Structure 1
């Protein structure tokens, strides 16, 4: 499957469900309490993160899509903190305030990256706590490209059937992260995303893959769904659709650090991708990549667009190597979003020799990512005369791309790289040879954009021209 990054910024998703505040107390542990055999944690940092349906909205916003959130919070400090965090992330909130029940809060005590204790502050919401949800959703639905129901079994989604019916009136796809032992209230949704335990609680014990496929297909048919995506932890994901063969994707996590919020990330990416026009299988593949990223993070985490794009590029083998100018600009955007410094150098590189290798290694040390712009064949003929280049541009770029120090290689047919420098705006322009800094072509362009110029020396008595002349003499 050829993965592509959707235009998330064109999509807007409505999230409705159980919102909560995930609160973390971090501190060191050096002794055991004299009062009881428990560790004493000296709290040094307090961290608040939106959780539950709020984390789904946060994930959607991190991808660059628009997110609106409907939920219920208490008339308390936790509710105000939650609204403040979401507003700062650009999420439109329309909360119903309960005067009788508190904002759901989960407090975790963490020491040395290990969770020692979790305390839950919550009461089950009742029908009157969320009786304005349908009215709020009806106002927003005409402007939505997808709707997510994030059910944590806290009582906020008692009117799930009415919300699904409303979305269908506007032809808005509905994705549900379900809970409980009765999925019938999600009838007519587009896609359900249960984990394997939740799936088995509905269909019974599945001892074989065939059991999963057959029972999943029956559930899709009985509930009038387009599909069920079963998340299976280290066994990946399985998509089951009526009249379609099952689709299984293996787990992509290299290291699992914390699975908190992984389900939120999966349904967020699914919804944003589908809202952006991708098919369910394409959206599933993106969600699978995103899940592999988020479980390597601690706590309730999100995946942003640059992280996901980088994973897609890696999947397609385009994270580094020979690129077009358009591909390079996307890669640079992602690198800068991660705080990386961009180094640029250029040259003919007709015959790659030890001087080039050492020079490029030193150039790479000036930053985090190295771009090598190579003169095209026509450009070299104008600069060096007939008989050059010895190697055509595609072969020169292939050799350069194989060097560990080089991240991206592209060619240009202008006599100078000035146009590229105007477009790329590198942090460092590197040039080798007996130049003064003020003699480097394009140096003033780089400086005017906030970068600087670095002149490096080549390995002595090692040059392409010398090698060519020696061969010709012999």
Structure 2
């Protein structure tokens, strides 16, 4: 049975984004600029509209309050949003802002900006939407939508979770927001306005981010500020000692929209009642996975909402989809395999190292019957459904596949990973699946294994521990 998610109201400035993506293999003869061949044009929601679509992809009802007009860009965006989110419009003066990126592969070469439209006034339907919201994400891109609804947003912050993603061109968050989510660059610029200067030797470092966050918490009267640090994660501050939340793994790819993915994930979790620390940790993981899976350009292939994912004991379809999405976005799929019965530190070290080798990690585990054939009666100690659930809880694991055979060739043939990772204890052994992995250009990679850690050893020691003396029952 699926769990209902709290509806989220997204308030902010929608943009229309275009990408011209092609190949750049030479420079122009008349100027030292790349020549882009075979450019393909695509359009997608941007700004607050992207944040709203990402929140909706998490499986929750989303209403977007934004400024749109009668211009062509506004009409295009309305069509892109149809069926994704409920739209409540406020009047727009001028043309909707749009940006066009020219890319060679995943590398931006040039950006062209058009349209400087701004929200004119708060329409009645928008005011009512804010007044009735159960949770709010403000995606401020400095074009006035949050400004015209500021009074209602201030009242909302006093009664429901409000996450505010600020912009250097916008006004400060209203007092009492649950979480503000500036990037490190934005936090530095906003703190400088308050007179908070960076100290020599730490420009752009963690100490500067911590001081900026502390200053912004106090100036904005926010409950918390999290400064996003790109591939380093996020720094969460309540005004005193900050908490560093690192990324689960390095993710290479197009980071456009990662801040929106982060803010949307955090807002949704806070709406559902999560603690701020838990929401920030999950949001860092969501943003990392978003970049690894292709970023904004993969939005049409977004992850299915949680209620549509396979049950914990039958996760292989989810693993196939994850591998296909990452491969289609040009990322590196890593797979690792084993029984993973009684997960221990050796397993975790191996999986963390495997995840750092690529853009997603799929763990292939033996089914209960397969473990029993390999290890004997009495194994596994932990059934497959529980092993899947425990592995999925690790931040370094993106998906889990279960196979019933003695060796994983069939599931590897379906996943076709770029890297098949195994522990270094196989260094003098040719794995039976190695020819298969190499047949599609894949690589078998051995990773260091922590000595002295084994499921068999843990089970043997646990069996030697005397049972506790029975006490009175209650």
| Fold match by TM threshold 0.5 | yes
Q: Are residue 394 (structure 1) and residue 390 (structure 2) matched? A: no
1:119 to 112, 134, 139: 112
**Are 2:95 and 2:117, in contact at CA under 8 Å, matched by a contact in 1?**
no
Q: Match of 1:150? A: 139
Q: Match of 1:262? A: 258
Q: Match of 1:48? A: 43
Shift of 1:95: 2.3
2:122 to 112, 121, 132: 132
Secondary structure of residue in 2 paired with 1:266: helix
Shift of 1:279: 1.0
Comparing 181-190 with 226-235, which one deviates more in the overlay? 181-190
Secondary structure of residue in 1 paired with 2:112: strand
Q: 1:43 to 1:63 in 2, by over 3 A?
A: same
Aligned pairs for 1:15-414 within 5 A: 15-29=10-24, 37-88=32-83, 90-98=84-92, 100-125=93-118, 129-133=119-123, 135-141=124-130, 144-159=133-148, 161-168=150-157, 171-180=159-168, 184-203=172-191, 204-207=196-199, 212-213=209-210, 216-242=213-239, 245-298=241-294, 300-301=296-297, 302=299, 304-305=302-303, 327-329=312-314, 331-332=315-316, 334-335=318-319, 337-338=321-322, 372-374=367-369, 391-394=377-380, 407-408=401-402
Shift of 1:145: 2.7
Quote the RMSD (CA, aligned, Å): 3.9
1: CA distance between counterparts of 2:212 and 2:96? 37
2: CA distance between counterparts of 1:371 and 1:241? 44
**Are 2:36 and 2:104, in contact at CA under 8 Å, matched by a contact in 1?**
yes
Q: 1:164 to 1:213 in 2, by over 3 A?
A: same
Shift of 1:33: 5.1
Gaps of 5+ in 2: 325-362, 388-399, 405-413, 415-474
2: CA distance between counterparts of 1:257 and 1:75? 35
Q: Count matched residues.
A: 341
Q: 1:206 to 1:183 in 2, by over 3 A?
A: farther
**Are 2:368 and 2:380, in contact at CA under 8 Å, matched by a contact in 1?**
no
Secondary structure of residue in 1 paired with 2:94: coil
2: CA distance between counterparts of 1:123 and 1:87? 24
2: CA distance between counterparts of 1:8 and 1:237? 28
Q: Give the TM-score of the pair, scaled to structure 1.
A: 0.62
Q: Deviations over 1:178-214 (max 9, x none)?
A: 1127864532222110111221223323446566545
Q: 1:212 to 1:339 in 2, by over 3 A?
A: closer
Comparing 222-231 with 53-62, which one deviates more in the overlay? 222-231
Shift of 1:45: 2.0
Q: Deviations over 1:245-292 (max 9, x none)?
A: 522111334232222111100000001111112111111111010111
1: CA distance between counterparts of 2:129 and 2:149? 16
2: CA distance between counterparts of 1:253 and 1:183? 34
1: CA distance between counterparts of 2:114 and 2:168? 20
